[in-house]
Structure 1
């Protein structure tokens, strides 16, 4: 979240500079101020390096934010917030609410950007749960028993030894202990929720196929080669329960 806040705050400087430039240009032309004071195509006047740097900062940072899906801000309040901060004035909303407000905005932007992935995952899970042998837990986790073991089942506090393969819905493989020819030992309370819940369903010697919705996987942030809001498919083989 700190990174998001920094990324968000940097463009504020640029937008402030741009707003001031717009006001200057508008006043010179005696145009009644509106939200977009400078008409499209009107060139701002750069009188110093500060002006040029301010514009460059605004253009570059706004382009990056637009690429991330943020395409609209309330520019009046953006400038007001900057002026209040530089003037040392009291903020209009409690400072402790800044983090939540910015976080909610970027979460909404991310959801809009990855709406196709969210829809794809939802559609896949809806169809998949009707497939023969597929079972669904109350959390939304789906699984298919490939091989039924006869050993003990682990608890969430246990460390287990597993072989596994993970893929995206399009079949792209992002990780495999089989390819490394080396099983992985891991604590079940330190993995994604879909693993924590799913592996506890398995008896030692079992091999299951899990279909994990994004909220039980890497959520809105993604991880490495895994994009945000990805529904994941894992084949997991429980080799051993090592205990706590």
Structure 2
């Protein structure tokens, strides 16, 4: 188990509830699978459909959440269509899995952040990702 990771409800499909154990995020890119799916494995180059909930470490309000929109997102994984932290952590997990990923700026939006979304250049991002399908 990766230490210092947020606690998240382990119910696939449920809107994530995130509790942060400390003010300081873990160092580097970290990922834990809190629900192991039994569907097909996601591979680099696949088109994956997910529900996700993204927050800045320590914050309650998401900067983006397909759960809140009730609209899953689909994109190529492992091919540079999303931030590097996603490309490096989602492949290798099965459909039906719920992941918690802690992404430092170097694997997210870099030193520039995304100010309009409330993401600073030094912010660590946390995503809860439910893998719905892959093809």
Query: TM tier, shorter chain?
Result: 0.7 to 0.9
In structure 2, the residue matched to 1:199 is 90
Separation in 2 of the partners of 1:201 and 1:237? Answer: 14
Task: Write out per-residue CA displacement over residues 86-140 of structure 1, whole angstroms, 9 at most, x where no aligned residue.
Answer: xxxxxxxxxxxxxxxxxxxxxxxxxxxxxxxxxxx9x4214xxxxxxxxxxxxx3
Once the two structures are TM-superposed, the CA of residue 229 in structure 1 deviates from its matched residue by: 2.3
Once the two structures are TM-superposed, the CA of residue 170 in structure 1 deviates from its matched residue by: 2.3
Separation in 2 of the partners of 1:146 and 1:161? Answer: 18
Which among 172, 179, 185 is matched to residue 68 of structure 2?
A: 179
In structure 2, the residue matched to 1:163 is 51
**Larger radius of gyration between Structure 1 and Structure 2:** 1
Contact 2:43–2:92 under 8 Å retained in 1: no
Contact 1:207–1:236 under 8 Å retained in 2: yes
User: Unpaired runs of 5+ in structure 2?
Assistant: 1-22
In structure 2, the residue matched to 1:6 is none
Task: Write out per-residue CA displacement over residues 167-210 of structure 1, whole angstroms, 9 at most, x where no aligned residue.
Answer: 00122310000111010111112100100011113111100111
Contact 1:218–1:229 under 8 Å retained in 2: no
User: Unpaired runs of 5+ in structure 1?
Assistant: 1-120, 127-139
TM-score, L = length of structure 1: 0.42
RMSD over aligned Cα atoms:
1.8
4+ residue runs over 6 A deviation: none
How many residue pairs get matched? 109
SS in 2 for 1:150: coil
Contact 1:218–1:230 under 8 Å retained in 2: no
Matches within 5 A, 1:21-170: 123-126=24-27, 140-170=28-58
Please state which structure has a larger fraction of its residues in helix: 1
TM-score, L = length of structure 2: 0.74
